[in-house]
Amino acid sequence: MARKIFYWITKIFFRIVFTLYNRLEIRGLDKVPRGAVLIVASNHSSYIDPPLLGGLFPGRLKYLAKESLFRNPVFGFLISSLGAMPVTRENSQNAGVVLKLLLKELASGESILIFPEGSRSADGKLKPLEGGAAFLSVKSGAPLQPVYISGSSRVWPPGGSFPRPSKVIVTFGAPIYPDGTADTEKKRREIAMDSLERELHSLEAGAR
């Protein structure tokens, strides 16, 4: 019970902070299927992206975060309350370990957050996607929920020391369900990957 209370307090805290400090604008939230287990797939260009999405997403999101982020007890408590799970540097570089951990969360009924670019974008522009999100969707049967964050790279760019009061726009796209007609798993992953890439690029263009 206490953990659930802390979760909602933290969620509301981040929502308020981003709304007031960064003039947060949310688009397309009505496209998110309520009550479904989802793989939220977002672009990534700033440290603020995970708590930003954790704060405004309708349900709870579980995601992996570098172990070093938990060294600050206050920040570590806040992000763990929002669903962050520490992962060592060694494990974070092992795709098999990461995918296994995320599949376990999906199987237990938890929605997850993943950044399919694999690393932060230095200029805020969408980078080529890696195949993890499509793999998880096909393996678990959970739909991909595309999200594009515009402006977070200006709020806290790589190397920045403190968040800036710059505007942020978060746009949700339509969910992408695993294709049931392709005759091989590889083909189903390719279809999911192509669909996700097209949708994220479309959301990126719409956010300009």
Q: What digits encode the pLDDT tens for the residues 42-64?
A: 999 888 898 899 999 988 899 88
Closest CA to 112 of 174, 57, 47, 176: 57
- What is the reported pLDDT for 91? 61
Calculate the dihedral angle through the C-alpha atoms of 104, 138, 133, 100, rounding to the nearest 10 degrees. Answer: 30
Read off the CATH number of the domain in which 159 is found: 3.40.1130.10
pLDDT mean for each 10 residues of the chain (208 residues): 78 92 95 95 92 90 83 80 78 74 94 91 87 95 97 84 91 93 90 96 89
Question: Could you give the number of structural domains in the chain?
Answer: 1
Q: How many residues does the chain have?
A: 208
- What is the reported pLDDT for 94? 64
- What is the reported pLDDT for 102? 93
- What is the reported pLDDT for 75? 77
Domain assignment of residue 173, given as a range = 2-206
Integer Cα distance of 70 and 60 in angstroms: 19
